[in-house]
Amino acid sequence: MKVKFTGPGVDGVFAQAVADRAQLLGMDGWVRVRGHDGSVDALFAGDCGGIQRILEFVRGADEGPASMVRIDEKPLRGDEPIWTEFHLLPPT
């Protein structure tokens, strides 16, 4: 699942918290801050339960980093690279 996070509290600290939780959940993919608008993009790969848990974390379950975050799911194009493990990428 590819998502874009926007809203109060979405920044580099938020991206690191998402990366840490995704790694803890054993997910594959990446997260990065978008320099032009401050949003955070992510690509999560894993079972549906893991993806649901990371989204619940962001929404504030388990004392997530930003309960007012807007989450926009984006369809995958099908040409995204395969990622193993979870990575915090440099800002774009």
Q: What is the mean pLDDT of residues 11-21?
A: 93
pTM of the predicted protein model: 0.83
The CA distance from 63 to 44, in Å, is 20
Residue with tokens 């194009």: 77
Hey, what amino acid is at 31?
A: V
Q: Band the pLDDT of 68: cuts 50, 70, 90.
A: low
- State residue 44's pLDDT score: 92
- State residue 64's pLDDT score: 53
Q: Band the pLDDT of 47: cuts 50, 70, 90.
A: confident
